[in-house]
DNA sequence: CAATAGATCATCT
DNA sequence: GATGATCTATTGC
């Protein structure tokens, strides 16, 4: 039994998004599939904040629905949804219960279970790219709607904070794939990681502004 | 390198 | 009935 990391999910959404860079995501592969029970894990190197109340790109913006119910629950819960009929996206809920907001996990650097990830992504995918991109990391780690509502402190989907004292060179920039409020500087990356997701068209240019 | 098309479906209007 | 917090392959410069 490990110590729960409540402090990791506390505070403003932007702070959580920054704090999650360098943290470790551990996933225990579900029963009934290859590698069941094994742990696959990665180091978080890219996140995006979706702010409470004021953010038109946040799924919570128009109030709770059946799909987005978990967004309004306690912080540190998994919000998983299907996008484009084909891929899942994994979020960490933030803010107190009743307020909908989250941090999207966009990319990780593979740590454990590389063979299991490659089995799900394909034999020719380079190791550094196995967990690069929100849809890809969910596929590699067998994360889908069954994970919606999971607690990141216990269970089969756990986030452990960055080791104390480790400094990650974090940068911020515009968000990716949005039609509204894409230019808000709410995307955070570990600038030195080879696993950051490729830049994609989201209109305009992708300004990278140095943060701390 | 940049732009575009197509795959595919739960959710919401 | 339209729409995505995506990804890959393909085309064109």
DSSP codes, A106-156: EEEEEEE-HHHHHHHH-TTS-GGGTTBSHHHHHHHTT--GGGTT-BTTSSS
Span A80-130, pLDDT tens digits: 999 999 999 999 999 999 999 999 999 999 999 999 999 999 999 999 999
**A123 CB inside 7 Å of strand C:** no
Token pair, residue A96, equals 């107190």
Residue A114 CA distance to nucleotide B11 C1' (Å): 34
**A93 CB inside 7 Å of strand C:** no
pLDDT(A198) > 80: no
The whole-number average pLDDT for the span A182-205 is 79
Q: What is the pLDDT of residue A196?
A: 94
Q: What is the pLDDT of residue A206?
A: 38
Closest CA to A130 of A37, A38, A40, A17: A40
pLDDT(A19) > 50: yes
pLDDT(A209) > 50: no
Q: What is the pLDDT of residue A200?
A: 54
Q: Which residue has the tokens 């998983």?
A: A80
**A26 CB inside 7 Å of strand C:** no
- Number of Cα atoms under 13 Å in the Cβ half of residue A178: 21
Closest CA to A12 of A61, A64, A53: A53
Q: What is the pLDDT of chain A when averaged over all its residues?
A: 92
The residue among A40 and A205 whose pLDDT is bigger is A40
pLDDT(A204) > 50: no
Q: What is the pLDDT of residue A164?
A: 82
DSSP codes, A23-81: -EEEEEPPTTSTTTT-EEEEEEEEEEEE-TTT-TTSTTTT---TTTGGGGS-SSBEEEE
Distance, in Å, from the CA atom of A176 to the CA atom of A179, rounded to the nearest integer, reads 9
Are the C-beta atoms of A137 and A45 separated by less than 8 Å?
Answer: no
**A203 CB inside 7 Å of strand B:** no
State the nearest residue by CA to the C1' of B6. A84
Residue A194 CA distance to nucleotide B1 C1' (Å): 20
Are the C-beta atoms of A165 and A197 separated by less than 8 Å?
Answer: no
Q: Which helix (H) or strand (E) holds A13?
A: helix A13-19
Closest CA to A92 of A151, A29, A22: A151
**A205 CB inside 7 Å of strand B:** no
Greatest Cα-to-Cα distance within chain A, rounded to the nearest angstrom: 48
**A86 CB inside 7 Å of strand C:** yes
Say whether pTM exceeds 0.85. yes
Least confident piece of the model among A55-59, A148-152, A159-163 = A159-163
**A177 CB inside 7 Å of strand C:** yes
Q: What is the pLDDT of residue A6?
A: 87
- Would you put residue A105 in left (φ > 0), alpha (ψ -120 to 50) or beta? beta
**A169 CB inside 7 Å of strand C:** no
The residue among A94 and A209 whose pLDDT is bigger is A94
Residue A95 CA distance to nucleotide C7 C1' (Å): 31
Residue A69 CA distance to nucleotide B7 C1' (Å): 28
Q: What is the pLDDT of residue A201?
A: 40
């Amino acid at each position: 039994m490990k110590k729960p990391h409540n402090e990791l999910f506390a505070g403003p959404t932007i702070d959580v998004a920054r704090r999650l860079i360098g943290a470790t995501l551990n996933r225990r592969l579900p029963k009934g599939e290859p590698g069941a029970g094994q742990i696959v894990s990665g180091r978080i190197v890219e996140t995006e904040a979706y702010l409470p109340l004021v953010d038109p790109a946040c799924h919570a913006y128009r109030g709770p629905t059946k799909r987005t119910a978990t967004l309004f629950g306690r912080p540190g819960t998994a919000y998983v949804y299907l996008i484009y009929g084909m891929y899942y996206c994994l979020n960490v809920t933030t803010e107190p219960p009743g307020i909908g907001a989250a941090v999207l996990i966009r990319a990780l650097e593979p740590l454990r279970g590389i063979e299991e990830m490659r089995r799900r992504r394909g034999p020719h995918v380079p190791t550094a790219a196995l967990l690069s991109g929100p849809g890809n990391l969910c596929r590699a780690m067998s994360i889908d709607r069954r994970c919606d509502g999971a607690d990141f402190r216990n269970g089969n989907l756990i986030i452990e904070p960055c080791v104390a004292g480790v400094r990650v060179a974090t940068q911020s920039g515009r968000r990716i794939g949005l039609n509204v409020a894409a230019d808000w500087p709410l995307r955070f990356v570990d600038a030195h990681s080879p696993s950051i997701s490729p830049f994609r068209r989201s209109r305009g240019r992708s300004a990278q502004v140095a943060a701390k």
